[in-house]
Amino acid sequence: MLAMVEVVALGFMVGLSGVTFPGPVFIFVVQQSLTSGFRSGLLATTAHALVGLAILVLIILTSTTALFSLPGFQFYAGVIGGFSLIILGIMILRNFMARNLNMKLTGGDTGYGRPFLGGIVVSVSNPQFFLWWAVIGLPSVSIAEDLLGMAGIYGWTAGILLSLFLWYGSVSFVTSRGKRYVSSRVILAISLICGTTLIISGLYLLAKYLLKLI
């Protein structure tokens, strides 16, 4: 029982090391929560969690973790990720530039498919996400496996998911509640900042990896 608590705590702490660092996922969760409500932020978080689980399953079944740290993989992930972030940022800007500044922003006109799909895009388009798995994720899950075998992996995964939903869920809840106290102009401004930030992040990735060709 004590060992299981240890591996869950290990997963929780390791998960916090990734989710508390501001990045594209954090920006997207904030933007969705602010403009479309708590459920949209939660959907984006769920999409991010499913991508992480898919990577974990891939690692367990194929032992392809070394692939994540290869320069070639980092290059292609960076280029594809850069373009993806730019496109997502442009979509956010187009969506909110077209809105009336005095319109009350709710989740009714966005649908629940967009935050889920966007959550997948911002997850797989970030090469640092894969680097985290190669450098931090795999060593820590290996410790959990050494302690309890597959049960350790399950416990570690539970800790990871707990940290992810606790952090992003809290961010989503606070952000969605906070929009009651700000004007539609402020909400629009924050959305524009989020979209612009994603575009800048995408341009940075493209510059970083494409310049290696020169």
User: Residue 145's pLDDT is what?
Assistant: 84
Backbone phi and psi for residue 159, each to the nearest 5 degrees, phi listed first: -65, -40
Contacts of 181 (CB under 8 A, 6+ apart): none
**Three-state SS for 2?**
helix
- Cα gap 123→157, rounded to integer Å: 17
- Cα gap 30→51, rounded to integer Å: 19
Backbone phi and psi for residue 11, each to the nearest 5 degrees, phi listed first: -60, -40
Instruction: Name the band, by pLDDT with cuts 50, 70 and 90, for residue 105.
Output: very low
Least confident of 53-57, 65-69, 110-114, 117-121: 110-114
Predicted model pTM: 0.72
Q: What are the tens digits of pLDDT across the range 20-33?
A: 766 788 888 888 88
Q: What is the mean pLDDT of the chain?
A: 78
User: Across residues 99-122, what is the average pLDDT?
Assistant: 60
- Cα gap 160→173, rounded to integer Å: 19
Domain map (residue ranges) of the chain: 2-62+70-213
What residue spans of 63-183 are helical by DSSP H?
65-68, 71-97, 113-124, 127-132, 138-148, 150-178
Backbone phi and psi for residue 104, each to the nearest 5 degrees, phi listed first: -75, 125
- Cα gap 204→55, rounded to integer Å: 25
Classify the C-alpha dihedral 91-93-94-96 as positive or negative: positive
User: Residue 103's pLDDT is what?
Assistant: 42
Report residue 99 as tokens: 């809105």
- Cα gap 214→210, rounded to integer Å: 8
Instruction: Name the band, by pLDDT with cuts 50, 70 and 90, for residue 104.
Output: very low
Instruction: Name the band, by pLDDT with cuts 50, 70 and 90, for residue 53.
Output: very high
